[in-house]
Amino acid sequence: MSVYSLEATAPPVRRNLFMSWIPTLAWLCLLAAFSTDTFSAEHTGSILEKVLRALFGEISHQRFVAIHFLIRKSAHFCSYGAIPSVESLECSLERSGAAAHVGCGQRR
C-alpha cells in the first residue's frame, strides 16, 4: 500500500497523526541501522584510524583507542539526544497546522 493510497483512505486526523510521526520513526530507524554490526567499533576503527593519521600524523595505539572511544560515546550521546529535537519538530508542525499530533501540549 503506497502513501498516496493511505492518504486517500485514512481519515484526515489519522493521516495527519501518521505523518507527524514520520520524522521520529525515520530517526529511530537510522539509530537502529547504526546499532548494527556494520557500525560496530571493530568496523569503524580502521576508517577512523586512517582519517586521524591523515589529519594528525602518527598517533600511539593508546591515544587512538581513547579518541575512538570518545568519538563513539559522543556520537551516541548526540544521536540519542536528538530524539527530543525531532519530536519538537513534530510539535512545531502541529502548531503550524501541518500535522495533528496528540501529546504536544494540546488536547483533542
- The sign of the dihedral angle between the CA atoms of 86, 90, 91, 97 is positive
Mean pLDDT of 17-28: 81
The three-state secondary structure class of 2 is coil
Write out pLDDT tens, residues 40-98: 888 888 899 999 999 989 999 999 999 999 999 998 899 888 888 888 877 776 666 54
Cell numbers found for residue 102: 496528540
The answer, as to whether pTM is greater than 0.85, is no
How far is C-alpha 84 from the geometric centre of its chain's CA atoms? 10
Per the rule left: phi > 0, alpha: psi between -120 and 50, beta: everything else, 81 is alpha
Domain boundaries, the chain: 3-95
pLDDT band, residue 8 (cuts 50/70/90):
low
Give me the pLDDT at residue 51, please.
92
